[in-house]
Amino acid sequence: MTHVLDGNAVGKRIRDDLRDSIADLDSAGVKPGLATVLMSDDPASETYVSMKQRACDNLGIESIHHELDADAPADELFDTVETLNNASEVHGILVQMPVPDHVDKREVLRSVDPVKDVDGFHPENVGRLVAGDARFKPCTPHGIQMLLADAGVETEGADAVIVGRSDIVGKPMVNLLIQKEPGGNATTTVCHSRTKNLSEKTRQADILIAAAGSPELIDGSMITEGTTVIDVGVNRVDADTEKGYELVGDVEFESAKEKAGVITPVPGGVGPMTITMLLYNTVKAASIQEDVAVDLP
């Protein structure tokens, strides 16, 4: 029987545990605060930011939101980040990507104070992750690591194949899986748009992580019996629905489910874990900045 992982349920359990960590902070007079900054008219970005704000509200994390016109000068964004870097009630800062073309994305990532960088994308935090001394693990790969652990999927010695080499999913995922620590010790292969014979690689996977942003790229013929399949993709495809589209993953769920030992659905798999780990990082950031020890899930 294929085990379909429930990211909503695992995420909820972690968020419930985070309530205890937040209570520890509260006893020390600290309320964790997350600032979101949106500089985009993209409805998907607006939805992501409002989901993050709602998740904060539900857990008792203060959420502070700044919205800038998409055509505002870049300096307006940098000034906003600087103000948030200096605001003591703000422990985490998240600038929703993508930013408009006239804003240098790398400069944005560098502008956030590394101790408030709850996305984990500042070069200092990327370096710490690679060096095995992570401060903030990027939310999506960290959420996947937690999902695997919750399902009892052993990473040690496993052949993990990651499809996608982005800075936010593929690269940090590899770096988590190769660390000498629980949830790591895997043997990793990274595939990308120039990879030859993709299915040859994916069939070697004990754990296959699809993060290509390509609808249903991976089907059942590309995986081996018993593989753990983690589908990160969220793709809008035209469909005869009220909205005119539906969301599909990078994996063709029905055919992959026939072969997989463990599989995540889209939606309801990786997505809820990403938001949960953002809350986790915000609590961690508050604990570091306020020097209050808390137990994290």
Residues that bind ligand NAD (CB under 6 A): 140, 163-166, 168-170, 191-193, 195, 198, 211-214, 217, 232-235, 270-271, 274
Contact 250, 115 (CB under 8 A): no
Which residue, 213 or 220, has its beta carbon nearer to ligand NAD? Answer: 213
Task: Say how far apart CA 191 and CA 266 lie, in whole Å.
Answer: 21
Closest separation in Å from C-beta 242 to ligand NAD: 21
Closest separation in Å from C-beta 166 to ligand NAD: 3
Closest separation in Å from C-beta 136 to ligand NAD: 15
Which residue, 180 or 196, has its beta carbon nearer to ligand NAD? Answer: 196
Residues within the annotated binding site for NADP(+)? 164-166, 234
Which residue, 30 or 249, has its beta carbon nearer to ligand NAD? Answer: 249
Active site residue 79: no
Contact 95, 85 (CB under 8 A): no
Which residue, 111 or 140, has its beta carbon nearer to ligand NAD? Answer: 140
Catalytic residue, chosen from 6, 41, 42, 52, is 52
Catalytic residue, chosen from 117, 119, 206, 231, is 119
Which residue, 22 or 278, has its beta carbon nearer to ligand NAD? Answer: 278
Residues within the annotated binding site? 164-166, 234
Task: Say how far apart CA 294 and CA 297 lie, in whole Å.
Answer: 10
Closest separation in Å from C-beta 272 to ligand NAD: 8
Active site residue 96: yes
Residue in the shown chain whose Cβ atom is closest to ligand NAD: 166
Closest separation in Å from C-beta 205 to ligand NAD: 13
Active site residue 52: yes
Q: What is the 3-state secondary structure (H, E, C) of the chain?
A: CCEECCHHHHHHHHHHHHHHHHHHHHHCCCCCEEEEEECCCCHHHHHHHHHHHHHHHHHCCEEEEEECCCCCCHHHHHHHHHHHHCCCCCCEEEECCCCCCCCCHHHHHHHCCHHHCCCCCCHHHHHHHHCCCCCCCCHHHHHHHHHHHHCCCCCCCCEEEEECCCCCCHHHHHHHHCCCCCCCCCEEEEECCCCCCHHHHHCCCCEEEECCCCCCCECHHHCCCCCEEEECCCEEEECCCCCCEEEECCECHHHHHHHCCEECCCCCCHHHHHHHHHHHHHHHHHHHHHCCCCCCC
| Active-site residue set | 52, 96, 119
